[in-house]
Amino acid sequence: MTASSGADVMASALEWHPVVIVLDLGLKDVDGWEVARRLKADPRTASVPIIAFTGADLTHERISAMRAGCDRYLAKPSAPSALVDQIERCLRDPE
């Protein structure tokens, strides 16, 4: 399932009940940090692991993403295997 906006991410998460969310932090309408905060605040999606996937590998962005509720952080460009590894870790080691 894909979503092109923050509002779509939140609506899709409620409708589809994903086991993990790969979240681009650079969304246009609602930024990824706010989407993560809202998903973690909602009891229906609070336990879903979120992988922040962003174009900036900056320490402050990583910290901000984790504070917003993201469980993992991956900077672009990344090899597909790195994303698969992060997804597998979320599924294997849920918080």
Whether 1 is in a domain gets the answer no
Place 95 in a pLDDT band, splitting at 50, 70 and 90: low
Domain that holds residue 85: 6-92
- The number of domains in the chain is 1
Alpha-carbon dihedral sign for residues 64, 35, 95, 2? negative
Whether 73 is in a domain gets the answer yes
What integer pLDDT is reported at residue 82 of this predicted model?
A: 94
What integer pLDDT is reported at residue 71 of this predicted model?
A: 94
CATH (domain of 77): 3.40.50.2300
Whether 65 is in a domain gets the answer yes
pLDDT at 89 over 90: yes
Minimal CA–CA distance to 48: which of 74, 84, 22? 22
Whether 36 is in a domain gets the answer yes
pLDDT tens, position by position, 24-83? 998 888 889 999 999 999 999 999 999 999 887 778 888 999 999 999 999 988 899 999
